[in-house]
């Protein structure tokens, strides 16, 4: 404790020199923290947009193998989950922690109005879902439960077709069994287009969409959950698979994909490995009844996790480079400090301070100075990020990475702690030579030295 108090007192002796060093370290931490927070926030916003698109980060779909009716025809996969409560009951039984779940039906097609048409990805959802309602940014209209076949589209699609609230349009699509079908729909809401992803998105009540595509009553395409801890995606998916596999032992018409096998065959892209297990070109894959496919967001888009890891590696490398440059200054500064304090060191050693304590005073002083500078850099970075977050961004090319038109920043506590550990280690090495020299100094020789 004495060495720490001495180190703190020494920091106040040459304020200008110490301030310059602290500013250099603060600048390094400011740059790294801002870059790390910005890039992590941007990737996180992209992930959130995709998660919102599919309703969660662990997705379960039901697939039925449909052999061709005529010789030479192609096998079809029919995307149906007939038992609406089956997967939900399994998730609850396994006590998987999630914020919300969603059952939805997907349909791809075209919306036609006055001879013009536009491609749509239609999601049949429960439009009363709180999370879904909160994500909607209506330009006009809204959710109207009293309108049959009500349709919510993006403003980009509305502008391209020149449609308004209340207009009737034709939706052209396919049934779950692949036949062409049409339906009259009414525009009830127009959403703000924040990115290319949600430009093609459209929403309607799940029961209306089920009727249009002839989905069996009570059925849907996919069940998704949004986990509280997104790092538990793989574990949750495996738990669901294992539980369904138990039901297969009792009922052979309940099947499930094998994630462990997919991880062996395609370790870098589990999604591809799972797709191979339901490939209709391989007759050995045929199954009776339903086959549940359990996937995670990172299976579908493994690049997201890769990008996040690369971002943290790059920012850590940048920090190390900046700190190495700063540490050259720290090393040189403490060589000068050693020369300036030779007689003082001799006096303290003569009064009984050990060489070990002398080394600690030098090391503690440098480490405290660097930690103060790093903390200041972190605070300034947080302030700068808060200011940038308040600035609205209208650039559509960045819309993928924004949250409601604003940059968001996300800092990792683990990453910051790692950066501080790197700082302390480098600082210790930078002053090691000067600290050792001070510890080995003879009191008599130091007192005789004339500067």
Per-residue model confidence as pLDDT tens digits over 233-268: 999 999 999 999 999 999 999 999 999 999 999 888
Q: What is the DSSP letter of 229?
A: S
Whether the CB-CB separation of 346 and 441 falls below 8 Å is answered with: yes
d(CA 134, CA 37): 25
Tally of CB atoms within 10 A around 354: 11
Helices and strands counted in the chain (H then E): 17, 12
- Helices 355-389, 303-340: axis angle to 10 degrees equals 140
Stronger pLDDT, 397 or 136, i.e. the higher one: 136
pLDDT at 68: 86
SS3 61: strand
Whether the CB-CB separation of 65 and 293 falls below 8 Å is answered with: no
pTM of structure: 0.72
In the chain, % of residues over pLDDT 70: 93
Residue 40: pLDDT band by 50, 70, 90 thresholds?
A: confident
Q: What angle do CA 284, 287, 288 make, to 5 degrees?
A: 150
- Helices 413-430, 15-54: axis angle to 10 degrees equals 150
What does the block give as tokens for 195? Answer: 């990115």
C-alpha pair distances (Å), 14 with each of 9, 124, 451: 10, 69, 18
d(CA 194, CA 53): 13
- Kind and range of the H or E element at 173? strand 168-174
Q: What is the 3-state secondary structure (H, E, C) of 95-164?
A: CCCEEEEEEEEEEEEEEEECCEEEEEEEEEECCCCHHHHHHCCEEEECCCCCCCCEEEEEHHHHHHHCCC
The residue assigned the tokens 């879904």 is: 132
d(CA 120, CA 109): 5
- Kind and range of the H or E element at 292? strand 290-296
Q: What is the DSSP letter of 192?
A: -
SS3 342: helix
pLDDT at 449: 64
| Cross-strand partners of 102 | 224
SS3 395: coil
Burial of 325 (0-12, 13-18, 19+ CB in 10 A): exposed
Closest C-alpha to 410, from 302, 305, 308: 308
Q: 345 Cβ partners below 8 Å, 6+ apart?
A: 338, 358, 438, 441, 446
Closest C-alpha to 134, from 231, 226, 41, 232: 226
Summarize pLDDT for 402-423 with one digit per residue, the tens: 777 788 888 888 888 888 888 8
Stronger pLDDT, 144 or 413, i.e. the higher one: 144
pLDDT at 22: 86
pLDDT at 190: 95
d(CA 139, CA 355): 73
Residues in the chain: 451
Stronger pLDDT, 432 or 248, i.e. the higher one: 248
C-alpha pair distances (Å), 95 with each of 20, 61, 98, 188, 227: 55, 20, 9, 38, 12
d(CA 171, CA 158): 14
72 Cα distance to chain centroid: 45
What does the block give as tokens for 166? Answer: 């209340």
Decide if pLDDT at 400 tops 90.
Answer: no
d(CA 44, CA 410): 8
Q: Where are the alpha helices (DSSP H) in 154-269?
A: 155-161, 196-199, 206-212, 233-250, 259-265
The residue assigned the tokens 């299976």 is: 299
Decide if pLDDT at 48 tops 70.
Answer: yes
d(CA 150, CA 144): 7
pLDDT at 404: 74
Tell me which range, 11-15, 222-226, 351-355, is most confidently predicted by mean pLDDT.
Answer: 222-226
- R_g of the chain, CA atoms, integer Å: 31
Summarize pLDDT for 59-98 with one digit per residue, the tens: 999 999 998 877 778 888 999 999 989 999 999 999 999 9
């Amino acid at each position: 404790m004495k060495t720490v108090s001495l180190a703190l007192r020494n920091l106040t002796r040459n304020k200008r020199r110490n301030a310059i060093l602290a500013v250099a370290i603060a600048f390094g931490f400011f740059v790294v923290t801002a870059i790390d927070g910005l890039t992590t926030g941007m990737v996180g916003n992209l992930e959130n947009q995709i998660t919102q698109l599919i309703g969660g980060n662990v997705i379960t779909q039901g697939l039925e193998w449909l052999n061709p009716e005529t010789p030479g025809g192609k096998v079809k996969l029919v995307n149906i989950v007939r038992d609406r409560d089956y997967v939900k009951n399994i998730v609850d039984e396994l006590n998987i922690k999630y914020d919300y779940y969603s059952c939805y039906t997907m349909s791809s097609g075209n919306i036609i109005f006055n001879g013009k048409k536009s491609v749509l990805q239609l999601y049949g959802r429960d439009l009363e879902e709180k999370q879904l309602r909160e994500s909607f940014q209506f330009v006009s209209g809204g959710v109207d439960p009293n309108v049959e076949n009500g349709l919510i589209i993006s403003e980009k699609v509305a502008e391209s077709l020149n449609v308004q609230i209340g207009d009737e349009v034709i939706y052209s699509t396919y049934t779950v069994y692949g036949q062409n079908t049409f339906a009259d729909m009414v525009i009830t809401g127009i959403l703000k287009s924040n990115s290319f992803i949600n430009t093609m998105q459209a929403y309607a009540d799940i029961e209306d969409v089920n009727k249009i595509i002839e989905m069996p009553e009570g059925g849907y395409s996919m069940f998704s959950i949004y986990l509280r801890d997104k790092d538990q995606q793989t574990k949750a998916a495996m738990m669901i698979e294992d539980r369904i596999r138990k039901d297969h032992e009792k009922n052979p018409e309940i099947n499930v994909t094998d994630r462990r096998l997919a991880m062996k065959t395609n370790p870098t892209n589990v999604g591809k490995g799972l797709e191979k297990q339901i490939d209709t070109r391989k007759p050995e894959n045929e199954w009776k009844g339903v086959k549940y496919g359990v996937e995670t967001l990172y299976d579908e888009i493994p690049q997201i996790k890769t990008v996040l890891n690369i971002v943290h590696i790059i920012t850590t490398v940048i920090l190390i480079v900046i700190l190495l440059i700063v540490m050259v200054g720290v090393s040189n500064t403490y060589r000068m400090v050693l020369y300036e304090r030779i007689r003082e060191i001799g006096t303290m050693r003569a009064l009984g301070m050990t060489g070990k304590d002398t080394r600690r005073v030098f090391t503690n002083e440098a480490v405290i100075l660097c930690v103060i500078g790093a903390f200041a850099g972190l605070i300034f970075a947080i302030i700068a990020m808060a200011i940038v977050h308040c600035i609205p961004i209208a650039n559509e090319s960045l819309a993928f990475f924004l949250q409601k038109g604003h940059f968001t920043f996300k800092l990792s506590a683990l990453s910051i702690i790692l950066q501080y550990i790197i700082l302390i280690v480098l600082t210790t090495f930078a002053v090691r030579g000067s600290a050792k020299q001070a510890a080995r100094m003879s009191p008599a020789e130091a007192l005789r030295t004339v500067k």
